[in-house]
């Protein structure tokens, strides 16, 4: 996802895959209708960015505006399960559907095609930063079973169930470094099982344990005792990350799984983690990053209380 100010216009673009179809959606400030829907959405993101607030919700509001049009388009094209299209085609993406939402004279958002070139590489392979310390799997070793979320797959290697995640190069590097550094903790996804070869010493996916269970966001009618356990487990996991010189970085219920066997919470996404002492985050800023984790953790606890 890219949110930027270009020629004094706010714009947002996002590339994602839905049932084997790649969509490149684009939202840009409308100078013809000042109080139109797209301006309201983009202004809210910009306001959150300027205030240093968490802008996840405002970003999702922008993305949700596209959802009816994406769902309609995918229905017309015929949704395809991952097993129907083959992995070589699944990651080739020769055709990309480009959708821009624009307010017209009837004050309603309508979809148009756009000719924007994607401003960032999406799944460009990454030169393997750990060639001697992380196992490298060939694509032929992996049997992809189901796409769980966008670019996150349930798969098998031999007889073992695994989770395979594809991501843009920068996100892949960040999550790989974070998984390498993450403490061994029951509520933090571990261990890193390996990466997937993309040729020429490059990689484009990571392999992690598969957690059989549900996301926290879909859990309902939770007992008070269970809520207390989950809140305590989350706090303990965040503390373990901080003591290990890293932050979670994206404290959100969509990044928490409930293990179906042990019933404990598991942090599953460390792509936005900050590592103390790296060029990304100098030590004097680490305290601020930890505080942001703790503030967002309180909101996550409130979310659990409301389930």
pLDDT in tens, 169-185: 888 898 999 999 999 99
pLDDT of 243 > 70? The answer is yes
Mean pLDDT, to the nearest integer, of 113-141?
81
User: What's the 3-state SS for 254-286?
Assistant: HHEEEECCCCCEEECCCCCCCECCCCCCCHHHH
Domain at 126-209, CATH homologous superfamily: Phosphorylase Kinase; domain 1 (3.30.200.20)
pLDDT score, position 33? 83
pLDDT of 126 > 70? The answer is yes
pLDDT score, position 115? 83
pLDDT score, position 93? 47
Give the burial string for 256-290 (b: 16+ CB within 10 Å, else e): bbbeeeeebbbbbbbbbbbbbeeeebeeeebeebb
Domain at 213-305, CATH homologous superfamily: Transferase(Phosphotransferase) domain 1 (1.10.510.10)
pLDDT score, position 121? 44
Tell me the whole-structure pTM to 2 decimals. Answer: 0.67
Which residues sit opposite 142 in a β-bridge?
157
pLDDT of 300 > 70? The answer is yes
pLDDT score, position 120? 43
In the chain, where the domains are located: 2-112, 126-209, 213-305
Q: What percent of the chain has pLDDT over 70?
A: 88
Mean pLDDT across the chain: 85
Q: Indicate the range of 31-40, 154-163, 208-217, 292-301 predicted with least confidence.
A: 31-40
Q: Indicate the range of 25-29, 52-56, 225-229 predicted with least confidence.
A: 52-56
Q: Indicate the range of 80-94, 114-128, 150-164 predicted with least confidence.
A: 80-94
């Amino acid at each position: 996802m890219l949110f930027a100010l270009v020629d004094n216009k706010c714009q947002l673009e996002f590339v994602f895959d839905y049932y084997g179809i790649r969509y490149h959606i684009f939202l840009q400030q409308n100078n013809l209708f000042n109080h139109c829907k797209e301006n309201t959405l983009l202004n809210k993101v910009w306001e959150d960015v300027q205030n240093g607030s968490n802008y996840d919700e405002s970003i999702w509001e922008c993305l949700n505006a596209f959802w009816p049009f994406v769902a309609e388009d995918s229905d017309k094209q015929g949704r395809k399960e991952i097993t129907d299209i083959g992995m070589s085609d699944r990651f080739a993406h020769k055709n990309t559907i480009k959708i821009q939402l624009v307010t017209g004279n009837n004050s309603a958002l309508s979809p148009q095609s756009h000719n924007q070139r994607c401003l960032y590489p999406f799944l460009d392979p990454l030169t393997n930063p750990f060639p001697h310390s992380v196992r490298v799997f060939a694509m032929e070793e992996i049997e992809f079973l189901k796409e769980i979320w966008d670019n996150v797959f349930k798969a098998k290697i031999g007889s073992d169930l695994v989770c395979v995640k594809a991501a843009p190069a920068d996100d892949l590097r960040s999550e790989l470094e974070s998984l390498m550094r993450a403490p061994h903790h029951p509520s933090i996804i571990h261990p890193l099982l390996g990466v997937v070869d993309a040729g020429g010493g490059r990689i484009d996916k990571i392999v992690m344990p598969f957690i059989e269970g549900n996301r926290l966001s879909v859990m309902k009618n939770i007992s008070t005792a269970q809520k207390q356990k989950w809140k305590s487990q989350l706090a303990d996991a965040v503390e373990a990350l901080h003591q290990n010189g890293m932050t979670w970085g994206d404290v959100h219920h969509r990044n928490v799984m409930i293990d179906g066997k042990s019933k404990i919470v598991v942090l599953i996404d460390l792509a936005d983690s900050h590592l103390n002492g790296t060029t990304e985050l100098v030590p004097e800023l680490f305290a601020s990053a930890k505080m942001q984790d703790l503030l967002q953790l309180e909101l996550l606890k409130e979310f659990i209380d409301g389930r």
